[in-house]
Amino acid sequence: MRRGTSAHDHRQFDRAAMIRRHLPLLLVLGVAVGVRAWFTASYQYAFFFPDTMLYVRDALSMVPNDIRPAGYSFLIKPLAGGPYRLIAVFQHLVGAALIVAGYAFLLKRGAKPWVAALAMVPLAIDARQLTLEHYILAETAYVALTVAGLVVLAWRDRLGPVAAAVGGSLLGFAALTRSVGLPILALAGVYLLVRRVGWRQLAAFTLPVAALLGGYQVYYERHHGVYAFTQNQGRFLYARVMPVADCSKLELTAKQRTLCDPNPPANFEHRPDRYIWSDHSPAYRLYRGVGNDAFLNEFATTVIKQRPGAYLAMVGEEASWHFWFRPPLVKDAACLARTWLPPERPGYQCQPFYYVPVSEIGKHPAVGPLPATAATERVHAYGRVVTTPGPLYAAGVLTALAAAFWRPRGRSWRPAADAVLFVAAGIGLMLVSVATSMYEQRYAVPAVALIPIGMVLAWIRLKHDPAKPAEEAAGEAETAAAKDEAAAERV
């Protein structure tokens, strides 16, 4: 230490250097917190969707329903007694925390601070992300658990058993918040095999996953008498295949033909979920109840086996809409898409309902509409513009593929594996949702966090010097900071 300097001066210099280094994060985080505070002040209540009541009912009764897994209900149980606005506020805080976690992970993997912060911009400002954080729905919890699980698995060059167990626990519980997370567990398993992490790490990853999924099925069996996550998979798949179920071209049994619908209403276009809930649906009229799920699944698989080309073409076409600036949605499908944007008049037409506490479990809240205010009009206008464009997802796929297949001499393959993991998780969720349910823009929201992270990892593979691990890069940063400190002391 040079004469005239003190420990206090050094601490001030260290803080100033840290602020300069992480200024990009502070700017993005400041914007993220600001827009969430603005959103919460504009809508001083949480948003309601039909699934909301299932989650709240499960949280209060601790009895799993047969449509959605109850993982999200376990998480919100401490707050389920209301006011429900507290859940929305907590979910906004989770969204802000994800920005910090993603930024820290990308720095660890060798990204520059400004690049890592840039990857967090969609998560910080995307209007659909903000709107879903304000809903009493499982999406925010699912995204947080999935991102956290993948980050833990990819954090270090050498994965330890403890980290593998934590990653498996997070991803396993994510699958209990949304069943679409089950394929992500398989993707993570393949990733660990590609990395050749060793049998101890694979076992440490697998054991908590098996314990969580198996334990939930035992819990479900105690209440419903069968080992399952839900009992409506067949009904959802039936609805999914109905747009291509041309019964005049299918070989069906007499009972299966009772599920045919040659003249669906116009509002069923792009809305196959109508075949689950609408009175016009043959399945809803004739085969209600979980006891008919196996029969509905049989019909759906029969259609897929006999018309695989039509089914795959439908899934491919609708999955591609996630990459468009504006998907070609019509009628009720366009209406549904607007429920994932900030409302101008909550409860009016396609806009979210006003969610008030209910006096009895199972009752829906009173429906607005509420009058528009200057605040809701401004947030609504923001939401019509500030959404993550679909072509960004397409760019993520291309960069991940480039990182995976371009093999420059002397460059590590590890960033490519990480890039493919995150991008495949984001795109895979879209594909699985379209293949088993329908195209819906809220199903793309996890990609707002996952794909930009994957793009930066691919960029590291393509442009950075991968011979320098994150630890070495951190050492160089410390050396540079020491030089700055020495220069300041000389001054």
Question: Buried b / exposed e across 386-425, counting CB within 10 Å, b at 16+?
Answer: bbbebeebbbbbebbeebbeeeeeebbebbbbbbbbbbbb
In a domain, 189, yes or no: yes
Taking residues 425-438, what's their average pLDDT? 94
Q: Whole-prediction pTM value?
A: 0.88
In a domain, 332, yes or no: no
pLDDT at res. 185: 95
Q: Are residues 239 and 345 in the same domain?
A: no
Position 455 pLDDT exceeds 90: yes
Q: Are residues 277 and 218 in the same domain?
A: no
Q: Are residues 445 and 383 in the same domain?
A: yes
Residue partners of 447: CB distance under 8 A and separation at least 6: 322, 388, 393, 396, 426, 427, 429, 430
Residue partners of 206: CB distance under 8 A and separation at least 6: 168, 189
- Of 271, 295, 323, which residue sits at a domain end? 323
In a domain, 331, yes or no: no
Q: Are residues 272 and 412 in the same domain?
A: no
Q: Are residues 348 and 248 in the same domain?
A: no
Q: What is the pLDDT of residues 83-127, one digit of tens each?
A: 889 999 999 999 999 999 999 999 999 899 999 999 999 999 999
Which segment of 212-221, 412-421, 465-474 scores lowest on mean pLDDT? 465-474
Q: How far apart are CA 217 and CA 354, in angstroms?
A: 34
Q: Are residues 298 and 375 in the same domain?
A: no
pLDDT at res. 5: 57
Structure-model confidence comparison of residues 353 and 445, the more confident one? 445
Average pLDDT along the chain? 88
Q: Are residues 185 and 97 in the same domain?
A: yes
Q: Give, for 43, the enclosing helix (H) or strand (E).
A: none
Q: Are residues 170 and 28 in the same domain?
A: yes
Q: Are residues 278 and 315 in the same domain?
A: yes
In a domain, 490, yes or no: no
**How many domains, in total, are found in the chain?**
2
Residue partners of 291: CB distance under 8 A and separation at least 6: none
Q: Are residues 274 and 384 in the same domain?
A: no
Structure-model confidence comparison of residues 334 and 480, the more confident one? 334
Position 243 pLDDT exceeds 80: yes
Q: Are residues 157 and 249 in the same domain?
A: no
In a domain, 404, yes or no: yes
Position 402 pLDDT exceeds 60: yes
Q: What is the pLDDT of residues 355-374, one digit of tens each?
A: 766 666 556 777 778 889 99
In a domain, 1, yes or no: no
Q: Are residues 306 and 433 in the same domain?
A: no
Q: How far apart are CA 152 and CA 170, in angstroms?
A: 9
Q: What is the pLDDT of residues 176-203, one digit of tens each?
A: 999 989 999 999 999 999 999 999 999 9
- Of 267, 290, 323, which residue sits at a domain end? 323
Position 477 pLDDT exceeds 50: no
Percent of the chain surpassing pLDDT 90: 68
Q: What range does the domain containing 263 cover?
A: 233-323
Question: What letter does residue 137 receive in the DSSP assignment?
Answer: S
Q: What is the pLDDT of residues 12-40, one digit of tens each?
A: 667 777 888 889 999 999 999 999 999 99
In a domain, 281, yes or no: yes
